[in-house]
Structure 1
Amino acid sequence: MPDAAARPAPTRPPGALWGDLLGRLPVALAAAVAAVCALAVPLVLLDAWRPWTAVPVVLVLGALAARIGWQVPAPAAPRWAVLLTLGVAAGHALWAGATRAEHLVLRRDAGSLANYAHHLSVHGGLPVDPSLRALGGPEALADPNVTVASPAFYEVGTGADVTVVPQFLLGAPALFSLGEWAGGWTGLLLVPALLSGAAVLAVAGLAGRLVGVRWAPLAAAVTALAQPVLHAARSTYSEPPALLLLAAAAALLAAACASRGTTAARLGGGAGLLFGGAGFVRVDALREVLLLLPVVAVLLVRRHPAARALLAGAVATTVLSGAAAVALSRPYLATIWGSLLPLLALTVLVALGCAVAVRLARGGFLARVGVLRSPRLPDVVAGLLAVVLLGLASRPLWLVVRQDPEDPGAKLVAGLQQRQDLPVDGGRTYAEHSVDWVAWYLGWPAVVVAAVVAVVLLRRLVAALRSGAELPAWSGPFAVALGSVLLTLYRPGITPDHPWADRRLVPVVLPAVVLLSVAGLAAALRWVGAWRAGELRAGRVPARLVPVVAGVGAVLLLAPAAAATAPVAGLRTERGQVAAVRTACRAFSPGDVALAVDSRARNEWPQVLRGVCGVPAASIVVPSRLGRPGSPAVVQAQRAAIDRAARRVREAGGRPVLVAADDPASLVRLGVPERAVRQAVRISTTEDERVLEERPDGAQRIHVGLWLAEAPGG
């Protein structure tokens, strides 16, 4: 018997290494991202999120997570497909980075996340110190006309315990802050592009696993071309890491469903950890965890080895991310409680329902229910889905969705309607057009094909469940994605100005439509190939039909996405804001305290001055019931509030500086001599459009200004 040491090592199949890059690399990257987000929570709570403490731990934990992620089984892949996919993902990241926005002066969510990330990179913890002593002590905020709150930065506490708490969850700002440690503001602003490139690769890897590795480049290209994906990659949004985590989680779930034994359990646990880990970056990731529960229930009934690990992983990271949100983002949770509470309640109800269903199924009760044994069940369920999809797409013909017209978002919508010469109805959410939004960016061919494929796949899934046949690997990801797409399209839950609203489609809706439409094209080619193989001898089917169908199908998927993105592909919005903020910081002297006095200054500058410039900042506010800005009653109330605030600042040894962003007249009305007003910042730049009823195809000009003057009475 020959020596075992002399036996040749088992050879891997051709294309295995390339398959590793496509199937394992994005999962490893997602595991590292999830580990960093989880690690940030205790370090931020300990005020220890600093380069010398966080970076070594991040590197070790990230490498460990990536190594675990690298153990995922990956199908072999041809070199050309993987190289093309990597090229698409890298090109997407490079282009997004080259056309990155510089959204620092706070106007939308990207600005708040950038300022949040900067605070973490500099101070290493939360909450934000409002510098009460410089404002005159806790008594300063006892004045009803003085606040340290600003959009996305909440004033929390009372007396000497007042702090400022940022909006949103910790995960994305923590990731962005790593970039600032590496390369300042440029590094911070580039991180979303890098994460988006990894997310495109993850979608391609999922396509390779579910549709076929040769289809990965097409899935990557359509995803990368989709304008909402590019828009989110250019700015500091949480969607790129969310897409990366969810796509990798779906890939692990598919691999787990196709595996057995301890491998299935390990993969299921990893999938659950990533599904729940998405909750570190987006609060609505709870929706995907909710939709994962029926998948777990089915796997439990079938005694699949992945079931318990999948549930344990999802519960573990969901609980951890939820605890982090409560500890660090409680004011944000309070503002969305009206939407969050029903989601939490529904999650509990679904969990209880699934537990009961598992018990009934294992006891044999469900097998005796006539409806569930009916051979017509797959057709009925698929037909119901078709009706739902048609209903969603046709809503603009028979429905207008509205919200409370007194909601702050409704007032913004009313203003946009007035400027765009639309009927003023601020209560409209435009949610009935959600399917149109998808078609804007991917085209109606992709939407229709995806809908047809979804109906067909649901019929096959229900048939497999009814018969007890082995479930396809795509079953779990399909069920979660289908439910998430339907819920998102039914209620997008976002201010409906575009392209800002379209990022709601990025984490699940757009990649799901891309994967379903690519799967439809792949199925069409298989059908044409089989047809040609059977009919070619009779001379009835041209030999070139397969490549023609492939080419036409690829064009139908790529062309609409490219056409929608082309008008804005080269836009680089908010340019000059990094330099403008630096200029603003230089305009202040030690001991200065900023008091924002007009609406734009109160919205855009307090956290920038406080967090970037290190200037204590507060806002002067008066009740809207006193009248319009600039009216005598409002000006009188402002002057009185400024006098009180300025006196406290001077008593504390500081110099009160009034800050305006609308125009210098805002300061002159408050008693400041015109000659005493100095312009610190004035730039003309662009931001994305804010359109309601059509696809955005350009940018709009905005002016960012900052006028300063010492408060009267010094």
Structure 2
Amino acid sequence: MELDRSGRVLAALSVAPALAMAGWLMAGLPLLLLGRFAPLPMLLLGVPAAALLCWAGTRQAGKVVEATVWQVAGVVAVAAASAVFNGVMHSEQLIVRRDPATYAQYAAWIAGHGGLPISVQPEAFGGADPWLLFEGVGFYGVDGGVAPQFMPGAPMMFALGHWLGVPFAVPAVLGGLAVLTVAGVVARLAGARWAVLAALTFAVSMPILYTSRTTFSEIPSLILLFGGLALAHDALGRPGWGRGLLAGLVFGLAVLVRVDGLRDVLPVLAFAGLLIAMRRSSRSTGSARPYGALGLPLAAGLVAGAGLGMLAAYLLARPYLSYLSSSVRPLLFICGGVLLLTLAGTAAAPMLSRIRLPRWAPAVGAGLVVLLMAALYVRPWLQTVTRDPVTPEDRRTFAMIESIQRANGMPADGRLLYFENSLHWVIWYVGLPVVVLATIAAAVLVRRLLRDGTPFDWLLPLAVIGWTTVTTLLRPEITPDHPWAARRLVPIVIPGLILLAAYALSRLRTRRWWVTAAAVLVVLVPPAVTSIGTAFTPVERGEAAAVEAMCAELPPDASVLVVERVTGDRFTQLVRGMCDRPAAEVKRAGAETAPEAEVRRLIERVRAAGRVPVVLAAAPGQVAPYGPATHVIALVTRQDERSLVDAPNGTWGLGIDVWMAVAR
């Protein structure tokens, strides 16, 4: 009874984060679309929705996880320690240099204004003008204002921190909940004995530390995807509409957090089709297939959740989708192909059920798993992935890679993408033993599933982990400096390989203490060693205080003209969203700063509109022509290392200066 009770507690705790997030997002999206995303409406709608889904998803769990009180306490302790540690070491990325600050500005705007698009107030500059640029890095111009890059799911979560007065705490709390979610899946599929080790290995891995300290979308996506796996596992024990619908809904809402979520949930669609096919074939043959009843509700929930995500993408992130069109269009075609194959397979289920795999299929399937991982390992010696710059985005990436290569003392060649090293990235962050154990476990599971269809519980997790891991490692599609590129491994690859490694350890079937101790050392030490170099050094601290001080220097009725490129990229939206002053960048006509004559003309237009013209730039000489220069930001802090061929083991210095002139 104690095992059952503790197991039910662990099962409930590990799905509650995904269910609560699903309820919050489902209530928040309509309010955001209506421009009413605010504390009171979310208190009245979001909190009850989260509580309702938690109640529906945790009552009368289907399959009971066997766990002791100490195992549950260990998992909770690791999750809590992770949240506290990353909360203490949190980052303050508000100045727009890379994606976290874009997410932070997105969250700050919707927390304070309740909707999109972002208002740019051209009337504060005397009306629209061809020399005024309101969009910028991470923010696209649309009719009526500016649309932030990215999907709205993660910013709707981060907005809660702004309302509670702790904007930097939410990522760390979500990181702790991710530890709990992953541990719950491990307990279900590999046994609670290894859940604490898996939770600790996951928590100390550098990419998890990295994405749990600031506003990334990968951790919220992970919670939904692994929460969906846990819910689907529980639903297999009690097939029915309620549980299947919830599992599918949680999976589908991953699309609301990241566009890549559409790729990650494709195996769920195929799995739902398989369950429907199993039910149809069982009716034609008269055999009992209890899992089949789960297919329709799982598919319905998936379509509903993903449909909300795609609706949000169309209404709120259309420019972002256009920017990603070279990746999104092929993904949509793949989704269509998977859907057609699923429908065809379901329709032909009675006929297909009579087909028997040849005897050699299990061994070949297992061998292909090992061969694929071996090919990814030796890929750096067989291939060099390059891309010649064609689009403006390609050229920016080319220039960035060359600058990183020079900083690392390497020959400059911006065509290099380093994607051939992707499996070696994984080995940096989780260690070779975890990768080897995971490969063995995957091969064993594939062999068993092809031989007799057992363990059926593993089919969906193995499909999701295998599909996303292979597609991610083949084409990470990210600027390849680390720890930046490590974020691609967070939602599925790292937790998935740790789950498989835990399953491999569970097959040891020994209670000898030294075996457990050896397993702990072999699995835990490599990721911990890699993380030590950066784990205790927070980055970009001091930005919040610097921004607050700058905002205090701006006159209340200021209209801000940013006349220099770097300052424009970093501060235009920040001034607009966090200082609550109208801001625009003045076009530079190919130069580093805007033409003085045009700036003076715009200054007069601002005055004519009854406002105070303020000029911002990076150096005193760039604002001095317009008035006395004031040093409003002089920040010296630390930033992430940018390593290309080795695991990052430290941080770099970062200095940011902003000068202001109140135009005479």
Q: TM-score range by the shorter chain?
A: over 0.9
- Cα distance, 1:665 vs. partner? 2.8
1:349 aligns with 2:301: no
Equivalent position amino acid for 2:650 in 1:
G
Q: Distance in 2 between matches of 1:260 and 1:52?
A: 37
- Aligned residue in 1 for 2:114: 124
Shift of 1:503: 1.0
Alignment-derived partner of residue 254 in structure 1: 233
Residue 194 of structure 2 is aligned to residue 206 of structure 1:
no
C-alpha distance in structure 2 between counterparts of 1:651 and 1:126, whole Å:
29
CA contact (8 A) 1:148 1:617 kept: yes
Match of residue 276, structure 1, among 252, 271, 282: 252
Q: 1:667 to 1:478 in 2, by over 3 A?
A: same
CA distance in 2, matches of 1:481, 1:404: 31
Alpha-carbon displacement from aligned partner over 1:68-92 (angstroms, at most 9, x marks no partner)? 1212333231011010110000000
Partner residue, 2:284: none
Is the Cα–Cα contact under 8 Å of residues 448 and 455 in structure 2 kept in the other structure? no
- The 10-residue stretch of structure 1 (15-24 or 448-457) with the greater mean CA deviation from structure 2: 15-24
- Over 3 Å counting, the alpha-carbon distance change for 1:567 and 1:643 in structure 2 is same
TM-score w.r.t. length of structure 1: 0.88
Q: Is the 1:100–1:572 Cα contact (8 Å) retained in structure 2?
A: yes
Aligned to 2:623: 667
2:140 corresponds to which of 154, 168, 191: 154
Q: What are the within-5 Å matches in structure 2 for residues 674-693 of structure 1?
A: 676-693=628-645
* Matches of 2:402 and 2:636, distance apart in 1: 26
1:172 maps to which residue?
154
Q: Which has the larger radius of gyration?
A: 1
The C-alpha deviation readout for 1:178-237, integer Å capped at 9, x for no partner, is: 111112xxx121001111111100100000000011111011010101110011010011
The one of 38, 60, 78 aligned to 1:50: 38
Q: Secondary structure at the match of 1:305?
A: helix
**1:56-67 mapped onto 2 (5 Å cutoff):** 56-67=44-55
Deviations 1:596-622 (A, max 9, x none): 111211111111111111111101223
Matches within 5 A, 1:618-629: 618-624=584-590, 629=592
Q: Does 1:497 align with 2:481?
A: yes
382-391 or 443-452, larger mean C-alpha shift: 382-391
User: Quick one: which amino acid aligns to residue 583 of structure 1?
Assistant: A
Of 367, 380, 383, the match for 2:354: 367
Paired residue for 2:289? none
- State the one-letter code of the partner of 1:235: T
Specify the code of the residue in structure 1 equivalent to 2:369. Answer: L
Pair 1:21–1:583, CA change in 2 (3 A): same
Give the superposition deviation at 1:428.
1.8
Instruction: Give 2:288's aligned residue.
Output: none
Match of 1:313 among 301, 310, 319: 301
The aligned amino acid for 1:640 is A
1:189 is aligned to 168
> Quick one: distance in 2 between partners of 1:318 and 1:585?
39
CA distance in 2, matches of 1:18, 1:623: 66
DSSP 3-state at the match of 1:498: coil
Residue deviations 1:638-663, cap 9 Å, x none? 223313322321221222211112x2
Structure 1 residue 382 corresponds to structure 2 residue 369? no
Matched AA of 2:7: G
| Contact 2:278 2:349 (8 Å CA) reproduced | no
Deviation at 1:366, TM superposition (A): 6.4
Q: Is the 8 A contact 1:260 1:305 kept in 2?
A: no
SS of the residue corresponding to residue 707 of structure 1 reads strand
Q: How does 1:456-495 map to 2 (within 5 A)?
A: 456-465=444-453, 471-495=455-479
Amino acid at match of 1:275: F
Separation in 1, partners of 2:185, 2:352:
36
- Shift in Å at residue 261 of structure 1? 4.4
Q: 1:429 to 1:320 in 2, by over 3 A?
A: same
8 Å CA contact 1:14, 1:76 repeated in 2: no
| Structure 1 counterpart of 2:285 | none
What is the rounded CA distance, in whole Å, between the counterparts of 1:521 and 1:16 in structure 2?
Answer: 23
Q: CA deviation at 1:359?
A: 2.2
Instruction: Say if 2:580 is the partner of 1:594.
Output: no
Correspondence list, 1:319-468, <5 A: 319-362=307-350, 364-365=351-352, 367-368=354-355, 373-406=357-390, 407=394, 408-465=396-453
Alpha-carbon deviations, 1:462-481, whole Å to 9, x = none? 2224xxxx552111111111
Identity score, percent: 36
Question: Cα offset for 1:417?
Answer: 1.2
Q: 1:474 to 1:116 in 2, by over 3 A?
A: same
Unaligned runs of 5+ in 1: 1-12, 530-544, 630-634
CA distance in 2, matches of 1:464, 1:413: 49
Tell whether 2:101 aligns with 1:111: yes
Structure 1 residues 294-313: aligned runs within 5 Å: 294-303=270-279, 304-313=292-301
The answer to whether the aligner puts 1:583 opposite 2:553 as a matched pair is no
Q: Which amino acid aligns with 1:290?
A: L
- CA distance, structure 2, for counterparts of residue 102 and residue 85 of structure 1: 28
Change in CA separation of 1:643 and 1:672 when aligned onto 2, cut-off 3 Å: closer
Instruction: Give the aligned residue type for 1:81.
Output: Q
Mark the CA change 1:425 to 1:405 in structure 2 (over 3 Å): closer, same or farther. Answer: farther
- SS of corresponding position for 2:661: strand
Where 1:497 maps in the other structure, the secondary structure is coil
Task: Look up the equivalent residue of 1:170 and give its one-letter code.
Answer: P
1:23 counterpart = 2:11: yes
Residue identity opposite 2:76 in structure 1: L
Alignment of 1:635-714 (within 5 A): 638-661=595-618, 663-668=619-624, 671-672=625-626, 676-711=628-663, 714=664
1:289 aligns to what?
265
User: How many Å separate the matches in 2 of 1:254 and 1:51?
Assistant: 34
The CA distance in 1 between the partners of 2:357 and 2:254, in whole Å, is 37
Check whether the contact 1:209–1:251 (CA below 8 A) recurs between aligned residues: yes
Contact 2:23–2:51 under 8 Å retained in 1 = no
Give the counterpart of 2:569 among 592, 595, 603: 603
Q: Following the alignment from structure 2 to structure 1, what is the Cα–Cα distance between the partners of residues 239 and 325? A: 41
Count matched residues: 646
1:661-686 residue CA offsets vs partner (Å, 9 max, x unmatched): 2x223334xx346xx11111112111
Which portions of structure 1, spanning 4 or more consecutive aligned residues, are displaced by more than 4 angstroms?
Answer: none
User: What is the RMSD computed on CA atoms of the aligned residues?
Assistant: 1.6
Q: Distance in 1 between matches of 2:29 and 2:54?
A: 19
* CA displacement 1:533-588 (0-9 Å, x = unmatched): xxxxxxxxxxxx83222211111110011111112121111111111011000111
Conservation of the 8 A alpha-carbon contact between 2:57 and 2:231: no
Residue 78 of structure 1 pairs with residue 57 of structure 2: no
Q: What displacement does 1:365 show? A: 4.7
- Distance of 2:466 and 2:322 partners within structure 1: 29
Give the drift of 1:704.
1.7
CA distance in 1, matches of 2:475, 2:312: 26
Query: Per the alignment, in what secondary structure is the counterpart of residue 584 of structure 2?
Result: strand
* 1:123 Cα deviation after fit: 0.9
Q: TM-score, structure 2 length as denominator?
A: 0.94
* Unaligned stretches of 5+ residues in structure 2: 280-291
SS at structure 1 position matched to 2:348: helix
1:91 maps to which of 81, 105, 110: 81
Paired position in structure 2 for 1:558: 524
Tell me how far 1:167 sits from its aligned partner. Answer: 1.0
